[in-house]
Structures are given as structure tokens and as C-alpha cells.
Copies of this chain bind each other. A is one copy, B any other.
Amino acid sequence: MTGTSHRAAPEHTHPDDVSVPAAFAALADPVRLTLVRELANSPEWARSCGSFDVPVGKAALSHHFAVLRAAGLVEQRDEGPRRVNRLRRAEFEARFPGLLALVLRDDIRQG
């Protein structure tokens, strides 16, 4: 094993391997919707997992990121002590056309 992190590398699922129900389930949570929207407004790989303003503890946050990875929405990599993120915008859009756009529209009341 190489690198400075003791954590296992995160496992990812490509959007092409994600079902429609799994994609909707990943987006059926207010915390995950906040993570997706904040990532959409940030440069790729700019945001560490601890940088999001969501009202959940570390274990819950880790679970939410696992769900987003499994739905093909988020890619993560470790940079030293930081785990950084990017939204898989193009790949997810190719698999589910218009779905991310719907979540990110600010003319739709999101509450």
C-alpha cells in the first residue's frame, strides 16, 4: 500500500451502472441534495468532506457520501489527510438527462 492515508480508497459506481430507483433514492434526502448543490457551485476537487454546512455528524456524513458515490453522483480521492470531491456532472447527465439540472434549478422551490 502506498500513500499517506490509512483509509481504504473510496469505492465508486459509474452512473451507467446505476438504476433509476437508485438515482432517485440518492436524491431523496435533504442533506444529500445540499451536498450535490454545493458541489455544483464549487470547482472540481476543491471541496473536502468537512467543508459542507450540513447538520449531521461525521459518521452520518460519511454514509451520505457513500450513497452519492454508489449513485454515480460524486467522485472522491484522497489528497494527504483530505478527502476531496467532485460532482460527476457530465457522466450523470449522460445517464439521466435533465435530472441534475432539475435539482440545481433555483426557480423551483426546493423545500
Contacts and interface: CB of A to CB of B under 8 A. Distances in A.
Interface of A: 19-22, 24-25, 27-30, 33, 95-99, 101-103, 105, 108, 110-111
A98 B24 CA distance: 14
A100 to B, nearest CB: 11
A21 B24 CA distance: 9
Residue with the highest number of chain B CB atoms closer than 10 Å, among A21, A101, A108: A21
Contact of A25 (B28, B101, B103): B28
B20 A24 contact: no
A53 to B, nearest CB: 18
A108 B22 CA distance: 14
B19 A24 contact: no
Contact of A33 (B20, B33, B97): B20
Contacts of A95: 108
